[in-house]
Amino acid sequence: MPKPDCRHIQVTGLVQGVGFRPYVYRLAQRLGLQGEIRNRSSGVSITVQGQMAVLDQFLTELRRNAPGQRHEFSVNVAAATAHSDFVIAPSQSDAGIAGTLLADQAICEDCRREFHDQSDRRYHYPFISCTSCGPRFSICRRLPWDRINTSWSRFSLCAACRQEYESPLDRRFHAVGISCPDCGPVLFTADGLQGEAAVRQACAVLERGGVVAVKGGAGFHLLVDAQNPAAVARLRERKRRSKPLAVLAPTFEWVLENAHTEAAERAALKGSAAPIVLLKACGGIHESLAPGLGTLGVMLPSSGIQLSILRMLQRPLVATSANLSGAPLIHENDTALSALAGIADAFLLHDLDLVQGLDDAVLRVMAGQPVSLRLGRGFAPQIHTVPVAHSSLGCGAHLKVNLAMQERHTLIVGPYIGDLQGAGNRQRYLQQKSTMPAFFQIDAGTEVTDLHPDYGSSVEADDHALTVPHHVAHAMAVWLEHQPEPPFQALTWDGVGLGPDGTVWGGECLQFDAGMEWQRLGSIRPFQLPAGHDIARFPGRIARVLSGETYPGRSIACSSMGRLIEGLAALAGLREENLFEAQVAMEWEALGHRASQALHMDFSWVGADLDWRPLLPLVADRSVSLSARALGFHQALARAALRQCRLGRGDSVLLSGGVFQNRLLVELMVAGARELGLKLLLPGRLPPNDGSIAAGQCVALAMGAKQIGVAQQCA
């Protein structure tokens, strides 16, 4: 018998919490190889020995079929070991970057089938999960991903679960979250009911039109009957919320009956993240949940807890984050019972501790491409690779804030935190800023923040923090996903962001050349933006300024496309005041979607800047329907944007900023770009809004982005 060869394989990437070790164990057993596999903080370590041809087959199948994402393999020849079999060895901590843990995963089809199977011992078990699904980041205290390092550590396995955990042929082989009704967590109410009785009581409250606070796998939701307008109104009044509300659909078939869907949207709904997907509504239910928007935010059940409620009620439920204004999502029982006492009529709790709360992720499909709008449960943390090594901590901006950390070539993007006006969100931001680098075993490195000195991230940054212009960070976040070679352009359109010249930017066309040197190629004709932290609330004030009135208070020079769109929509007669962020712009888009014809209009030009003045009389013409004016405006904006991009060098154009959450605008631009030979590159995993700023700050620093003619790095 020839002497066996031996290989040591180090695998990094998202390889923990995905069933990687059980897969490798079964593969090695099938091929008759010896050795071991173990989790480490920074990845998975494999030692395997056997005949060379069989080792080659092992490596081929491992590279092709291993579960997880973003695998990187390091293979080295090693000395033969004394192993007579292949085993899963105890995990070990090491000093490498701990970018190995997958985000929380929605209930898989196998677990869903068992949940509904009367003969299965996990029939109707709310905490059903396996190696392929269940909470991950929300319950993990430290890496490696082992039961002892998670909230599951306090639950001892019963004999039946222990047998499954140790059986190589079982799909719960080494599943961290394995449990059953005999040994796992329990649902309970505030007055002591447990299990199915607790679920029945919660459902009875929902049937009566009440509000129920439900602890899920990543935090609390507030639920009401979505088909009961009085219940929905009661929830809005108690929570003081005017924003659109998402619906938790009882079945996929219900979604198809109440919304128009395309293939990418259906795939996202059924995907492992189970995000809220913004769909075109076709039923009447959306009018109480998202009035005037023509869309419906829908998600399917992501856990056995949600399935337990929906199987009893068989109806759609409003599911909104359980938090107070300016405060993060609640994820602890005691906090929920006190903070939500004036909102919820009943509570459905459980005893699986959540390490941190994760809001639901939000996604919209535009031009056939899924675009993340919020990095919530299932979408974060994210791992990206940056071509140039660096060490930095991206601090974000002020709204939709999250954190990003780069060490060497690895960039880790953290989950959505929220806006930093409120003390609660500010506290959570500072907590994550202090704990996330240690969790991922990354040196915090150089802090990078926004140019605006009054943003919460800037106020909380250390004294040595570097700054990156807001719109450069936007551009570099999209560049990270596509990495086009310079030269290329970036359209960065949003509400406001401080430019290097001290004015308010937000309608920028940037040119990037070799070495990531950038310049402002064009913008929009500036206007005077009424000053004040609440200006986004009053688009009517902007409309009057655009019409030539002099604002009586303080104002500042502004080139914001987001504010321009809202001002023109208000001028058209849509609304003077936003009840929630970007409401008038969203209604303006919805009217354009519904239009059967368009009023033709066009921007003019002042050099390379878009001049909006020719639009004013047409937008304000009340003899033409609002929808025709809305569609005409969006068509004019798409044409002007593409024409502006043709002034630059290169045929790739990055789109970033909150304005590009507008599906109508994006799809008009994509259609027009094809005819002009331009390649529009949309955000995907990272949002177009300020949820991408932290990542873009890190990338800008690593890639040395700098303004042409300005010596200071990243300024």
pLDDT in tens, 633-667: 999 999 999 999 999 999 999 999 999 999 999 99
Residue 473 or 709, more confident: 473
Packing angle between helix 561-571 and helix 583-594, nearest 10 degrees?
70
**Confidence at 1, pLDDT banded by 50, 70, 90:** low
List all residues 6 or more positions away from 351 whose beta carbon is below 8 Å from its beta carbon: 185, 186, 188
**69: three-class secondary structure by DSSP:** strand
447 closest CA partner among 436, 458, 455, 456: 458
Gap between the Cα atoms of 252 and 254, Å rounded: 5
CA-based torsion, 29, 34, 40, 42: positive or negative: negative
* Residue 713 banded pLDDT, cuts 50, 70, 90: very low
Question: Is residue 595 predicted with pLDDT exceeding 60?
Answer: yes
**For residues 447-470, average pLDDT:** 96
| Res 709: pLDDT | 79
What confidence tens digit (pLDDT) does each residue in 4-46 have?
Answer: 889 999 988 888 888 889 999 999 999 999 999 999 988 899 9
Lowest mean pLDDT among 83-92, 450-459, 485-494, 594-603: 83-92
Element housing 388 (H / E):
strand 382-394
Pairwise CA distance, residues 642 & 447, whole Å: 35
Closest CA to 366 of 18, 646, 638: 638
Percent of the chain at pLDDT exceeding 70: 99
Render pLDDT for 89-132 as a digit per residue (tens, 0 to 9): 998 888 888 777 789 999 999 999 999 999 999 999 999 999 99
For residue 64, the tally of other CB atoms under 10 A from its CB is: 7
Sheet strands side by side (includes 466-468): 404-413, 382-394, 446-450, 466-468
pLDDT computed for residue 13 by the predictor: 84
Residue 550 has pLDDT above 90, yes or no: no
d(CA 36, CA 361): 37
- pLDDT surpasses 70 at 218: yes
Q: Which residues of 478-512 are buried (b: 16+ CB within 10 A; e: fewer)?
A: bbbbeebebebbbbbbbbbbbbbeeebbbbbbbbb
Give the pLDDT of residue 70.
Answer: 67
Among 149, 131, 138, 129, CA closest to 41 = 149
What's the rounded mean pLDDT across residues 224-246? 95
Task: Give the separation between CA 454 and CA 276, rounded to whole angstroms.
Answer: 32
Query: CA 658, CA 660: separation in Å to the nearest integer?
Result: 5
Measure the CA–CA gap between 499 and 558, rounded to whole angstroms: 10
User: Can you read off the two tokens belonging to residue 560?
Assistant: 């914001």
Indicate if the pLDDT at residue 348 is higher than 80: yes
Average pLDDT over residues 211-233: 97
**Would you say 378 and 431 are in contact if contact means Cβ atoms under 8 Å apart?**
no
pLDDT value at 553 more than 90: no
Separation CA 46–CA 35 (nearest Å): 8
For residue 70, report the phi and psi dihedrals to the nearest 5 degrees.
55, 50
- pLDDT > 80? residue 531: yes
Q: What is the mean pLDDT of the chain?
A: 94
Q: Which sign does the torsion angle of CA 523, 529, 533, 534 carry?
A: negative
Joined together, the tokens standing for residue 525 give 């004709």
Instruction: Please compute the mean of the pLDDT values over residues 526-547 and round it to a whole number.
Output: 90
DSSP assignment of 35-54, as one string?
A: EEEEEETTEEEEEEEE-HHH
pLDDT tens column, 147-173 = 999 999 999 999 999 999 999 889 999
Q: Which residues contact 202 (CB under 8 A, 6 or more apart)?
A: 189, 212, 214, 309, 346, 348
Whether residue 546 has pLDDT greater than 90: yes
Q: Which residues are CB-neighbours of 263 under 8 A, at least 6 positions away?
A: none
State the residue for tokens 């990437």: 13
| CA quadruple 693, 636, 527, 545: dihedral, nearest 10 | -120
> Taking 90 as the threshold, does the pLDDT of residue 72 lie above it?
no
SS3 at position 20: helix
Could you tell me which of 715, 50, 667, 37 has the C-alpha nearest to residue 369?
A: 667
* Interstrand relation of 276-281 and 86-88 (parallel, antiparallel or unpaired): unpaired
Q: What DSSP string runs through 551-617?
A: PSS-EEEEEEHHHHHHHHHHHTTS-SS-SSTTHHHHHHHHHHHH-SS------EEETTEEE-GGGHH
Percentage with pLDDT > 90 across the chain: 85
Distance, CA of 429 to CA of 442 (rounded, Å): 17
pLDDT at 283 over 80: no
Within 13 Å and on the Cβ side, how many CA atoms surround 180?
16
Q: What is the pLDDT of residues 465-524, one digit of tens each?
A: 999 999 999 999 999 999 999 999 999 999 999 999 999 999 999 999 999 999 999 999
Whether pLDDT at 712 is above 70? no
Residue 711 has pLDDT above 70, yes or no: no
Decide if pLDDT at 715 tops 70. no
Kindly list the structural domains of the chain, giving each domain's residue range(s) and its CATH number in brackets, ordered by start. Answer: 5-88 (3.30.70.100), 187-366 (3.90.870.10), 499-512+521-684 (3.30.420.40)
Is pLDDT at 532 greater than 80 in this prediction?
A: no
Say if residues 523 and 455 touch (Cβ distance below 8 Å).
Answer: no
pLDDT at 41 (0 to 100): 87
